[in-house]
Amino acid sequence: MEIAKALTIAGSDSGGGAGIQADLKTFQELDVFGMSAITAITAQNTVGVQAVYPLTVNAVTEQIKSVAEDLNPNAVKTGMLFSSEIIDAIANEIKRYRWSRVVVDPVMIAKGGSSLLLEEAVASLKDELIPLAFCVTPNIPEAEKLVGFTISTLEERKQACEALYQLGAKNVVIKGGHSNEKEVTDLLFDGETFHLFSSPRTNTNHTHGTGCTFGAAITAELAKGKSIYEAVKKAKDFIGAAIEDSLGLGAGHGPTNHMAYRKRKVQVNDY
């Protein structure tokens, strides 16, 4: 059987912990062939984002075309998209190629506070891209921005899931990394049922790229034909291991360990 293939459309993180780099590492770790279309180049490390260079709309759509017309991904993920022109163009390409297994991670702000999406582009995310999403994966501040109300309780998080579902996303995952609870709980809504995925919160500063890595793991599993429930469950385990077995790199918000999940699996199989 041919290997599953996934395409990430996102920004490049020179520091290697988030963006395109996190996505490709995650695809590889989960036995999926990774491909990329870069939307913007960031000069970035664990301390912050030093510069952002968006590419032209043509540069983005030509990369997508090259991948689509030869390599035909089984699933597609979007990450940092920066502007409304880039978002609108990507939405058109998704429609052109009739991609249905599309994971939209509505990246807005990096851990250090730098903006990765222009304010005016939020409307394009809502109107053009989220309606095409098989799954949308905001963190709590991103979900608040998209739905226009504050999310403090589980009940409000459920309401936000429903509001994002109403925008057209077939599944919604609101991630819990930004809550201040002891447990980190991700909430999945598939249009009918809410599923909670909880784990103890790891006390660490090494959480750069957690959202990208989690979304990429969902995309990898969807590329293999897994259900959304199975994909989110695997992604939660994958990011949990990557956060726990931190590499301790950098002076700021360090990257996660993309190898941790595979190494644990190998260890278990050894016994």
Catalytic residue among 211, 215, 240, 254: 211
Catalytic choice (42, 210, 219, 256): 210
Name the residue whose CB lies closest to ligand HMH: 19
Alpha-carbon gap, residue 133 to 268, rounded angstroms: 35
Residue with Cβ nearer ligand HMH (49 or 190)? 49
Residue 128 binds to ligand HMH (criterion: CB under 6 A): no
Selection from ligand ATP, ligand HMH, none that 19 binds (CB < 5 to 8 A by kind) is ligand HMH
| Residue 250 falls in the annotated catalytic set | no
Note if 211 is an active site residue: yes
Least CB distance to ligand ATP at residue 108 (A): 9
Closest to 87 (Cα-Cα) out of 30, 40, 46:
40
Helix axes 260-270, 228-244, angle to 10 degrees: 90
- 161 catalytic residue (yes or no): no
Give whichever of 127 and 237 is closer to ligand ATP, judged by the CB atom: 237
252 is catalytic: no
CB nearer ligand HMH, residue 11 or residue 34: 11
Q: Measure Cα distances from 127 to 7, 88, 123, 211 in Å.
A: 22, 9, 6, 22
Q: Return the range that interacts with ligand HMH (CB under 6 A); candidates 144-152, 209-217, 240-248, 260-268.
A: 209-217
Q: How far is the CB of 211 from ligand ATP (least distance, A)?
A: 2
* Amino acid, res. 83: S
Q: Which helix (H) or strand (E) holds 147?
A: helix 140-147
Q: Which residues pair with 103 in a beta bridge?
A: 77, 135
CA–CA–CA angle 16, 72, 137 (5° rounding): 50
Is 13 a binding residue for ligand HMH by CB under 6 A? The answer is yes
Q: How far lies 58's CA from each of 40, 54, 65, 85, in Å?
A: 12, 11, 10, 10
For residue 137, state whether it binds ligand HMH (rule: CB under 6 A): no
The C-alpha atoms of residue 184 and residue 146 are separated, in whole angstroms, by: 21
Rule CB under 6 A: say whether 173 interacts with ligand HMH.
no
Answer for the pair 134, 102: CB distance below 8 angstroms, yes or no. yes
210-223 and 228-244 are packed helices; what angle lies between their axes, rounded to 10 degrees?
140
In the window 97-126, what residues touch ligand HMH (CB under 6 A)? 107, 110, 116
| Residue 225 designated active-site | no
209 contributes a contact to ligand HMH by CB under 6 A: yes
* 212, 215, 219, 254: the active-site residue: 212
Residue in 42, 46, 61, 139 binding ligand HMH, rule: CB under 6 A: 42
- The one catalytic residue among 42, 207, 219, 256: 207
184 binds, among ligand ATP, ligand HMH, none (CB under 5 to 8 A by kind): ligand ATP
Asked whether the beta carbons of 105 and 79 are under 8 A apart, the reply is yes
- Report the chain's terminal Cα–Cα distance, integer Å: 29
Q: Which active-site residues does the annotation give?
A: 175, 207, 209-212
Q: Which residues bind ligand HMH (CB under 6 A)?
A: 10-11, 13, 18-19, 42, 44, 79-80, 107, 110, 116, 209, 211-212
